[in-house]
Amino acid sequence: MASLSFFVGIIGNVISLLVFASPIKTFWQIVKKKSTESYKGVPYITTLMSTCLWTFYGVMKPGGLVVATVNGAGAALQFIYVSLYLIYAPKDKKVKTAKLVAILDVGFLGAVIAITLLAMHGNLRLTFVGILCAALTIGMYASPLAVMTTVIRTKSVKYMPFLLSFFLFLNAGVWSVYSVLVKDIYIGVPNAVGFVLGAAQLILYMIYKNKTPLPTKSMDSVKERSAHKVKDGIEMGARGDDHDNQEDDLEEANGKKKRTLRQGKSLPKPTLGKQFSIPKILKKTASLGPYDLYSSWYHHYDDSDVDA
């Protein structure tokens, strides 16, 4: 049984390393362009913290060599990614990123290690760190839920690459098997959750891969209709002004002296139209942006990593 668990752990190491190495292409482009462009540093900062915690867990756990080695390698890669991001990020992003690194990767991580070693003893140490690691990994596996919702809404798998979903599914499955063999609930629970969510992603991919995505032209037509509504509202307001001006001229010619009162009544008409038509149109137009909302997020999702 020990040799089988070790063999499964080695397979898990290989798959996890492939996932950890996936941002290399991204950072190669960052180094070539000497700019982080629209990439975000948060995924690498949080993954650095997570891999360090899992490495600490693997070191403390008897027989946790395969957990410690793969996450140690992952932590080294994440450290390189974070360092490169700090080098090539704009000044404002660099400051924010450095603060986040100090809080999560130095402050929080240091506090966890200090509390574990100084205030806890025996199995309580492993339990404390194991729960933290499991919680972080569950959060990581749950993060694509928003993208899955977008796939259903748009009937498009554009934001859910098959290979990434497949390797995350495979990685979670292998580590779930490993957890059963070594009877480790802290590795088993988060990876079982990841396995289920990974399977759901693959099922969604199979369902929607041949579906016709919602046409982007329909969005343009809605915007065009909205523009026409705005134009019509303005023209109607202008015609209302012309009508009122003609009425006032007629009344002035007839010698009536109530022109000011009637002008006051006519003034709210175009304003009222703007209050009720333009905000509604703008609201409808703004609501047509799920692509913009999720495309940037999932653009970085392929840089998220999987912990053992």
Q: State the 10-residue block means of pLDDT for the chain, 308 residues long.
A: 84 92 91 89 91 96 92 96 94 92 95 94 93 90 80 82 86 94 94 92 88 57 48 48 51 50 48 42 35 34 41
pLDDT confidence of residue 283: 40
Check if the beta carbon of residue 279 is closer than 8 Å to that of residue 18: no
pLDDT confidence of residue 228: 52
pLDDT confidence of residue 172: 93
pLDDT confidence of residue 175: 95
Which residues, including other chains, have CB under 8 Å from residue 107's CB and lie 6 or more apart? none
The one-letter amino acid at 9: G
Check if the beta carbon of residue 98 is closer than 8 Å to that of residue 41: no
41 — phi, psi (to 5°)?
-90, -15
pLDDT confidence of residue 164: 81
Q: Is 144 helix (H, G, I), strand (E, B) or coil?
A: coil
Check if the beta carbon of residue 51 is closer than 8 Å to that of residue 78: yes
pLDDT confidence of residue 252: 54
The tokens of 228 are what?
A: 């026409």
pLDDT confidence of residue 34: 92
Check if the beta carbon of residue 55 is closer than 8 Å to that of residue 71: yes
Buried b (16+ CB within 10 A) or exposed e, 138-166: bebbeebeebbebbeebebbebbeeebbe
